[in-house]
Structure formats: C-alpha cells, structure tokens
C-alpha cells in the first residue's frame, strides 16, 4: 500500500508551553451519494485522536507512536466508508503533545522535535470517475476542549465541562475557533507503518480497594502494567477526581512514587455531572496501584479498569513448569516485555525515561523473539536506528535519539548499546530466517564495525573510550552502575568477538565475499588479541568474575579444552557466591547458558532457584509481577533501593527467559527460521515437568516433558517443513533421534531416581515447599487447622522466603502446630 501525501501539516498559531491544552482541529466537507470508498490517512507531531461525524476513528491509541520523527513519521490508514454520509460531514482530531512536543528524559526537555502539536490528515474520497482529496490546510479550524493538559510523563488533565458539544460533528458553530496555520514539516518523512499499532490489549479488574493508614483510597490491580485507568463515576459537575499512579506501596501501605522518579504520572478528571466514563488518551503510566482522591462517595471496584496498552504484536511463545516460582518469574518476563513494547522497545515505562535504550533491547532480544512476533516493532526500530546513525555518524544509545546529558551526540561506540546495530538484525534473522532482515540493515551493521575498527589498539583490542561495562553489576557502587568488577574493556573486546563473527557470517550469507573475508580476518584478529591479553593457555581468565567467564564461554573465544576448564571455574565462582547473582546486563543473559553448556547444569538450576538476594527468584518472593531493573530494587524490608535506578518494570534482566525456554523447556533453533530444530530439555532443580511452545515461521513447535513414577514422558510436535533432532532427557542411553513434522511421544524409565532430594525441615522456606504441590497441600491443611483465618495459601509467593519456623512462631499454640508440621514433613521425606 502506498499513498501520495498532499496538503501540509497544520497547527495552531502559537508554540505550546508545559501544561497547555491539547489542540482540537476540525473541518466540514460534503460527500456525494455515489461515494465508493473513503480512506482516512492521519498522523501528527504529537498524539492524535481522529473523529468522523462525532465517532472515534479506529482503535489505535497513542498514534502515531514514537519514531525518529525527523526521518520517519508513521501515517495511520482507516477505511472510513461506513462513517461517512451523503451530504454534510465533519472531520475532527485532537492532538496532544506526545513525544514530539512534551517533556522527554530526566531533564524534562520540551520541544525535542517541534514547538507545537501539528496535524496531518488526508481523506481520500473515491468515486467511480475521480478521487477527491480533503487534506489538512488552512481551511481547518483550531480550538480547544476538555483536554486541558497532557504529557507522556505528567499525565492528563481533563475537564469534561469544557468539551464543546458536537465539535466533531457537522453544523457546529466554530466561528470562535481560529484558522489553522500551515506548519512546515517535510511530507517526505511520512510513511505507512510496518509495525503493528499500539492498542488497548486487555482490561484488568481491581483485586482490592485499600484504605491506607493515612486514609487514602488505593486501588490495587494486582499486576504492574503499562496503560491507564478507565473510570466510571457519577457526581456533581465540577468535582475533580485525581488518580496518582505507582508500581508499589511503601512498607506502611502508602503510595510509593519513588520509582516514577521525576514523572508526575497523575490524571485528573473534572466531572460534567451525571454518570460518565473516562480514560486518558494522551499519556500512559507504568503502574499496579492508583491512589484515588476527590471521588464522589465511596468507590467500588467496578468503577475502575486498568487498560493494558502496548504494540499489538501476535504472541508466539509460551513456557510453564511444575515450579510456581519459576512460572511467576517467566510471567514477569512476559509482563515486562508487554509493558515496554509501547511502540518503542523501552528500558522502563514508569519514570522520566521510557527511552529506547539499545543495550537493554540487545540482551533481551532473543527472549523477545520467542515470546512475540517482533518483526514489525523491531524492524521499524532498526530503521530509526539506521536513520539516526546515518545522520550522526554513530549508533545513538537511545533510539529514537533524544538529546540529554548522559546521552552525547554523537553517542560514542560502546559494546551492547551501540553494537545492537549488528546483533539485533542477527537475532531477528536467526528467528525468522529472512535474509531481507540482514540486507536491510547491512549498511548500518557494517558502518558500526567500520567505526570501531580504527579505535582498536595495535594488537586489535578495544581498550579506549567509555563503556557501560557490566551495567548494574550488583557489586558496582550504587551511584556508578558502569563500574562493576569486570573490566569494561574486557567486556567490550569480548562483545566485539561476537559482533565481528556475526558480521562476517552476515556478509557471507548475503554473498558479499570481500566483506566476508575482511570481517572474518578482523574477527580472528580480535579473538586472538582477546586470548593473548585475557586468557591463559588453560582457560583461566585474568579478570575472575562470573561475567568474564560467561562471555568467553558463550562468545566462542576459547578452544574446547579451555572452555571446559573455564566452565569448571565459573561453577566454582557461582558456588562461592552461594548461588546469588553477581552479574549485570552484560553477563546475566549468558550466565546460565555458560554453566549448562559446560556440564554445570546443577549450578545453573541452583542459580535459577535461589531466593536470597540478589537472585532470579528474590523479586518473585517479594511479590514482583514484572522484572526489576536491579535485583534489589526493593530491599527485603520493602523499601525502594535509594539510587533512583529502581524501576520495577525493566525487561533487560528478563533475558533469563531465553535459558528457561531453551534449556528447561528444551526448544532450540538449529537453523535460522527454525527449519531445523533441536529438542533437548535438560531437567533439573527438582522441576517435575515443563512445557514450551513457539510459533515458528513454519508453524507451532511444542515440547512437553514430565516425570511420573520415575518415568519420563516426552511429547513433541514438530511444525510442517521442519525437522528435529531429539535428545531424550535423562535417558539412560542418551540416544539422539531424528524426527519429521507432526506429533511424537516417548515414555521410558529413568535409571536414577529423579526429583528434588529435598530434606524438609522447619528451616525449609515456604517457596521450597510451594514447588511440591503435594507437600504444600499437606502443609496448608496444617496451617488451616492451627492458624484459621490467616490467608497463607493466597500469600504463598509473597512469603516464599519465610521459613516454616517463622510461621510456627506466629501461632497461638506453637506446640501442636509444630508437632503436626513435623509429622507432614517426615512423611514427605520418607
């Protein structure tokens, strides 16, 4: 589909100041009764809500989303034939500030693209013999209405009394409105989108309405989401209801807005009088709780809905096990992806950032491609990246680029953040098997490598310039997240080994022979330099950290013998830290893979299942419903870590999803596009069953394994057009089988006893017991008898870190409870 833009962008006559009302545009026009088809093309510098004859057009929200507007502005297209009538019609549009005009970054800089909201619309009226175009021009009128203030970070202020009746319908008297002005913006930036639009995807009913110790009303939706609240209210005209959004409550039960940092995230609705339903349209929030003030009467749950909003991507991946804590961890990964794919793949959706930080996406991308079809969203983002890179000569650390301190222009090249230019197209190609993905990004990929090459020292090490390093290494000083224990230049050199290999492979696949030879040679030099500088002949790495070992193991830097020894050393390191996490953004996504691929599956599971902070499951035991930015964003006492970098909805560390899906679930891609698959679940950690399913380009692949009476049951479905090698898990003879499309099942006895050799005692934490549903049920029965009215069953995940003895201490009759519990435990141990 193509379109020829006509007309011009239009705007009001004045620049917009913080807190200004949204701009309303309208125009009337005639349609004759021989109309065959009508198409509305519409976009804005800002956020646009279109109307025809008083009815909202389409179901997109936050359109046109955020792209690198200077290069690309997306135009929505709607078939509006049925919304028009023969005779008089009216087109209306409200344009809010959005990303183009309003505050961006912690510096709250305004006017990053333009100083006022501007509208572009083109209505194409097709008759048998001609097409009539109504395009934005000075015939449009400009006014204002109920949207009094709006900002992505600040929220929306809406006074329903000020909405002019019928402004978007014919015969409205707009003599009090001004003429629109032509607004200078190149129509060459206009494009039809390749990414799916942002929509309302789901609605969530409140789980509770709380009254805080200070008497505040707080609605709890039970899940951190991105979007907003829709309210239904009746009361006196002029009363204002205020909604303040937050991810978490303070330990004493008040709204905790710390994680929003400088974002006000507040919506205000002033009633028109009578019954009314309202939701904002020019902002979004990352939240689980909403503090409501000014409500007429006492609010009921039915008055509120959390409207979950994100890019409307098809879901493609599912994962589940017998372990509820692991399931919650995986759900948290999915929810953080949903919360951060609101048009742009962002770091977080709640605070004064919500930026397309490239490093976060780079480490999360393999997980993302499993969970959702991201071809559209990430393909579009890569176009933005390439456009910005071409303009500034460098890959910006945030895409779309926005100026701020900490984000220099041009951004200097760094590992993980800038090399996303190479690794993201590579990851997408692996998933979809489509060479066009690489072809489209080829110039951008090679430009990055060519930029880094001259920065290498004489032995080919990347040893200069700022690096984010192992960002948010838990051992880094809280105010210096880039200053972790792994040498930043070791990390940069390791990532360059990876990206030069990906680049050489890309050139080869695209038939770019000279480039392929050149990049292959560069890769060999970079790898050689790394080994000379950082690795001993026996596979010891100079900088002994889990991240350093995980990188050399996973990035093909070592030979086989060294790799084995490095794996042993990595296992020792994680044991030494008691299976807590000591890696940041650079190392976490490869850590468990590095262990399980060097014969240390047991240590990988111990890392996965640990609940002591910092660990994968600690946030789960703290009631997390999304992935956190740092492992201890919330401290064990429930207070927020005092660093300002404490988002509770950051997908980066959710990169563990990839290991869950591939190793626990056992679903692996061998050939790009999944034409060749390896099914190789590696059970462990006492997990008794797991299921993983994924829509590959050729169809759905499924794996399900479970241990029953010490027999393994494995069910597999291979999609049409694919073949699979199956490595039967825990099979005494370890056979490798070859299978074609369709369903396959196996059942066999295990030679060794499989399962958690857990010795339950009163020191066992609830989380551990919770993973065995039989034991948990028996323990719950005892609790119910001795602790009537204490809702321990519902709170299981929240109390996962609590040992049984702590529950016993709270009981009125300790002795009997203890006796019955010991009874249950000894039966479970037997």
Which residues of the chain form contacts with ligand BGC (CB under 6 A)? Answer: 347-348, 353, 357, 359-360, 468, 650, 652
Smaller CB separation from ligand BGC, 279 or 347: 347
CA distance 578 to 572: 10
CA distance 417 to 422: 11
SS3 522: helix
Q: Calculate helix-pair angle for 375-392, 435-452, nearest 10 degrees.
A: 30
The one catalytic residue in 49, 191, 320, 629 is: 629
- The number of C-alpha atoms within 13 Å of 182 and in the hemisphere containing its C-beta is 9
Closest approach, Cβ 683 to ligand BGC, in A, equals 33
Closest approach, Cβ 81 to ligand BGC, in A, equals 45
CA distance 593 to 597: 6
Q: Is 28 considered catalytic here?
A: no
The DSSP code for 40 is E
Smaller CB separation from ligand BGC, 124 or 347: 347
Smaller CB separation from ligand BGC, 243 or 377: 377
Closest approach, Cβ 355 to ligand BGC, in A, equals 7
Distance set, CA 130 to CA 3, 83, 135 (Å): 16, 20, 16
Smaller CB separation from ligand BGC, 365 or 566: 365
16 and 101 in contact (C-beta within 8 Å)?
Answer: yes
Distance set, CA 605 to CA 449, 621, 629 (Å): 36, 17, 22
Smaller CB separation from ligand BGC, 410 or 803: 410
Backbone torsions φ then ψ of 219, nearest 5 degrees = -90, 130
Copy the structure tokens of residue 801. 């870190």
Smaller CB separation from ligand BGC, 359 or 619: 359
Which ranges constitute the DSSP H helices of 408-545? Answer: 420-432, 435-452, 488-509, 513-534
Closest approach, Cβ 722 to ligand BGC, in A, equals 36
Q: Is 629 considered catalytic here?
A: yes
Which ranges constitute the DSSP H helices of 18-68? Answer: none
The one catalytic residue in 156, 353, 702, 818 is: 353
Closest approach, Cβ 791 to ligand BGC, in A, equals 35
Copy the structure tokens of residue 401. 């680029």
Task: Give the pairing of strands 178-179 and 55-56.
Answer: unpaired
Task: Please return the burial class of 400, using the count of CB atoms within 10 Å of its CB with bins 0-12, 13-18 and 19+.
Answer: buried
Smaller CB separation from ligand BGC, 64 or 359: 359
CA distance 114 to 100: 6
Q: b or e along 456-495 (b: 16 or more beta carbons within 10 Å of the residue's beta carbon)?
A: beeebbbbeeebbbbbbbbebeeeebbebbbbbbbbbbbb
Copy the structure tokens of residue 364. 């999360």
**CA dihedral angle for residue 783, residue 784, residue 790, residue 794, rounded to 10 degrees:** 90
Smaller CB separation from ligand BGC, 20 or 352: 352
Smaller CB separation from ligand BGC, 49 or 347: 347
Site of tokens 């972790």: 484
Question: Count of H helices and E strands in the chain?
Answer: 18, 37
276 and 233 in contact (C-beta within 8 Å)?
Answer: yes
Closest approach, Cβ 336 to ligand BGC, in A, equals 12
Closest approach, Cβ 644 to ligand BGC, in A, equals 9
Closest approach, Cβ 451 to ligand BGC, in A, equals 20
Task: Give the pairing of strands 676-679 and 723-727.
Answer: parallel
Smaller CB separation from ligand BGC, 654 or 673: 654
Copy the structure tokens of residue 308. 């979950």
Q: Which among 314, 313, 317, 312 has a CA at the least distance from the CA of 700?
A: 317
Site of tokens 């789960």: 620
Distance in Å from the first CA to the final CA of the chain: 68
Closest approach, Cβ 345 to ligand BGC, in A, equals 11
Closest approach, Cβ 468 to ligand BGC, in A, equals 6
Q: So which residues are the catalytic ones?
A: 353, 629
């Amino acid at each position: 589909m193509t379109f020829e833009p006509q007309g011009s962008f239009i705007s009001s006559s004045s620049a917009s100041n913080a807190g200004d009302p949204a701009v309303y545009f309208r125009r009337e026009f005639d349609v004759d009764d021989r109309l065959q088809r009508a198409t509305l093309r519409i976009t804005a510098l800002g956020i646009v809500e279109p109307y025809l004859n008083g009815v909202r057009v389409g179901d997109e929200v936050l359109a046109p989303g955020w792209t690198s507007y200077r290069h690309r502005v997306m135009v929505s297209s709607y078939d509006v034939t049925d919304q028009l009538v023969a005779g008089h019609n009216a087109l209306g549009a409200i344009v809010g500030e959005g990303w183009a005009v309003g505050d961006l970054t912690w510096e709250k800089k305004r006017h990053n693209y333009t100083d006022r909201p501007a509208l572009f619309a083109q209505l194409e009226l097709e008759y048998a013999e001609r097409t009539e175009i109504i395009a934005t021009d000075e015939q449009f009128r400009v006014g204002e209405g109920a949207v009094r203030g709006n900002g992505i970070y600040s929220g929306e202020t809406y006074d329903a009394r000020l909405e002019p009746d019928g402004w978007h319908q014919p015969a409205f008297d707009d003599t009090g409105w001004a003429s629109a002005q032509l607004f200078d913006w190149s129509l060459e930036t206009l494009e039809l989108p390749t990414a799916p639009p942002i929509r309302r995807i789901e609605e969530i009913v409140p789980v509770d309405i709380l009254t805080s110790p200070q008497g505040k009303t707080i609605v709890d939706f039970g899940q951190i989401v991105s979007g907003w609240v829709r309210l239904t209210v009746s009361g006196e005209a002029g009363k204002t209801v205020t909604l303040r959004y937050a991810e978490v409550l303070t330990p004493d039960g008040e709204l905790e807005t710390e994680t929003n940092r400088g974002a006000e995230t507040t919506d205000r609705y002033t009633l028109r009088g009578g019954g009314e339903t309202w939701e904002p349209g020019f902002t979004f929030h990352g939240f689980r709780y909403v503090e409501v003030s000014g409500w007429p009467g006492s609010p009921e749950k039915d008055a509120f809905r959390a409207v979950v909003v994100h890019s409307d991507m098809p879901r493609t991946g599912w994962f589940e096990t017998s372990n509820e804590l692991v399931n919650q961890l995986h759900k948290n990964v999915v929810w953080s992806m949903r919360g951060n794919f609101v048009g742009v793949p962002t770091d977080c959706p709640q605070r004064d950032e919500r930026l397309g930080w490239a490093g976060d996406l780079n480490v999360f991308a393999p997980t993302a491609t499993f969970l959702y079809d991201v071809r559209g969203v990430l393909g579009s983002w890569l176009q933005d990246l390439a456009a910005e890179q071409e303009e500034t000569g460098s890959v910006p650390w945030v895409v779309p680029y926005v100026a701020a301190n900490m984000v220099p222009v041009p951004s200097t090249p760094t590992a993980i953040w800038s090399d996303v230019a190479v690794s993201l197209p590579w990851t997408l190609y692996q998933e979809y098997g489509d060479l066009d993905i690489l072809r489209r990004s080829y110039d951008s990929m090679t430009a990055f490598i060519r930029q880094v090459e001259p920065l290498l020292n004489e032995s080919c090490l990347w040893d200069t310039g700022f690096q984010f390093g192992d960002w948010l290494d838990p051992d880094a000083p809280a105010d210096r997240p880039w200053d972790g224990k792994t040498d930043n230049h070791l990390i940069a050199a390791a990532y360059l080994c990876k990206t030069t290999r990906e680049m050489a492979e890309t050139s080869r696949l695209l038939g770019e022979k000279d480039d392929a030879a050149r990049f292959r040679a560069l890769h060999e030099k970079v790898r050689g330099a790394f080994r000379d500088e950082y690795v001993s002949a026996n596979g010891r790495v100079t900088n002994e950290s889990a991240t350093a070992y995980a990188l050399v193991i996973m990035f093909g830097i070592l030979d086989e013998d060294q790799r084995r020894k490095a794996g042993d050393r990595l296992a020792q390191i994680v044991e030494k830290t008691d299976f807590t996490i000591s890696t940041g953004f650079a190392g976490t996504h490869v850590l468990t893979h590095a262990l399980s691929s060097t014969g240390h599956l047991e240590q990988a599971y111990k890392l996965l299942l640990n609940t002591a902070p910092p660990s994968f499951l600690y946030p789960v035991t703290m009631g997390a419903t999304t992935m956190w930015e740092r492992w201890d964003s919330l401290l064990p006492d429930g207070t927020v870590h005092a660093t300002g970098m404490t988002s509770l909805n950051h997908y980066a560390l959710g990169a563990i999803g990839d290991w869950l899906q591939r190793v626990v679930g056992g679903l692996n891609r061998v050939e790009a596009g999944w034409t060749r698959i390896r099914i190789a679940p590696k059970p462990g950690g006492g997990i008794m069953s797991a299921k993983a399913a994924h829509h590959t380009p050729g169809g759905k692949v499924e794996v399900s394994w479970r241990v029953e009476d010490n027999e393994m049951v494995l069910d597999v479905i291979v999609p049409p057009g694919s073949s699979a090698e199956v490595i039967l898990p825990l099979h005494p003879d370890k056979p490798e089988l070859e299978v074609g499309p369709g369903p396959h099942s196996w059942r066999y006895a295990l030679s060794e006893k499989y399962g958690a050799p857990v010795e339950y005692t009163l020191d066992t934490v609830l989380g551990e017991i919770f993973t065995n549903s039989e034991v948990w049920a028996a323990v719950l029965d005892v609790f119910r008898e001795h602790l009537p009215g204490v809702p321990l069953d519902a709170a299981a995940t929240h109390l996962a870190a609590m040992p049984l003895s702590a529950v016993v201490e709270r009981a009125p009759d300790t002795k009997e409870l203890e006796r019955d519990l010991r009874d249950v435990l000894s039966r479970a141990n037997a």
